[in-house]
Amino acid sequence: MAKPVSKVTVHPPPGRPSWGGQGNLPLIYLGWGRRDFAKTPLPVHYDRGTNYFILVNGEIVLTVGNEQKVLQAPSAILIDSDCRFGITQRKRETVSILVWVWKDRPQLPELQLAEGASLILELRDSSLDTLKELHSRSRKEIAISDSALPFTLNALRQLLEVEILRASRTAAATGDLRWELAHSWMMNNLSIHTPVPALCDYLGMSPSALHRFFRRQATLSPGAYFRKLKWQEARRLVEKEGWQVKAAAYHLGYRHPNDLSRALKE
């Protein structure tokens, strides 16, 4: 008969924030904040539950079985309790992490883990605020610790899994849909003078996240892409629809017809 595998939850060095579960809760452990895995590596071990590990800043070396992988932030690592793993770093630098350890395997079909498996997902920068908020909410619920705690923790876990999936860069359909929404919104609002704040509100993205998103999708800033669409529509109206330059300029929100005339000549 095979010897049973010893499973533990490894806590960080003294002074680093963490919480160890008590009682019959779906959540076993919470960890967060800064770590230096070069100075204090996480030894290779089997954990008592499923790790949801979010690398917020920095770079780590993840050992899974006999394999080593260098991971850079932002990334999500899901690790089954029957998967032997450890964490170190190639150089001395502080990294920031968020960790949940749950008793059971992921519930969302797209994130399900086979026995002894792990899953690594690259995340969008814009997703980190929501993941930080979910971790903060998890800590607040632990502090309340009333009879509703198991229910609120399970609800938070479901939100966490959905957010990890949506934040993953591998979820191409999500990015494609958001790009279609952004392009369509711009085409329907070409007369607006300052489109970026309104588009940020429409898509629920920060200005910096919107800028990175447009750079990835169109290699242009949001403002430059908007001006390109505006110029193309103006040219269509004047050259194909027979509009006067002045009428097209006012229709598209140019402050002066001469602005459109110069754009068309260029």
Average pLDDT, whole number, for the chain?
87
pLDDT at 125: 81
pLDDT at 209: 86
**Ramachandran angles phi, psi of 189, nearest 5°:** -135, 40
Cβ(209)–Cβ(126) below 8 Å: yes
C-beta atoms surrounding 225 within 10 Å: 19
pTM for the model stands at 0.65
Cβ(113)–Cβ(37) below 8 Å: no
Complete domains list, the chain, with CATH: 18-167 (2.60.120.280), 173-265 (1.10.10.60)
- Mean pLDDT: which of 12-21, 133-142, 165-174, 181-190 is highest? 133-142
Using CA atoms, how far residue 114 sits from 45, 80, 82, 106, in Å, is 18, 8, 9, 10
pLDDT at 263: 65
**For the chain, first and last CA: distance in Å?**
80
pLDDT at 5: 61
Q: 30: part of which helix (H) or strand (E)? A: strand 27-35
Of the listed ranges 57-61, 86-90, 251-255, the least confidently predicted one is 251-255
pLDDT at 264: 63
- pLDDT band of residue 175 (cuts 50, 70, 90) is low
C-beta atoms surrounding 199 within 10 Å: 21
The mean pLDDT value for 35-41 works out to 93
- pLDDT band of residue 174 (cuts 50, 70, 90) is low
Tokens linked to 182: 């952004």
pLDDT at 266: 63
Q: 56: part of which helix (H) or strand (E)? A: strand 50-57
The mean pLDDT value for 51-62 works out to 96
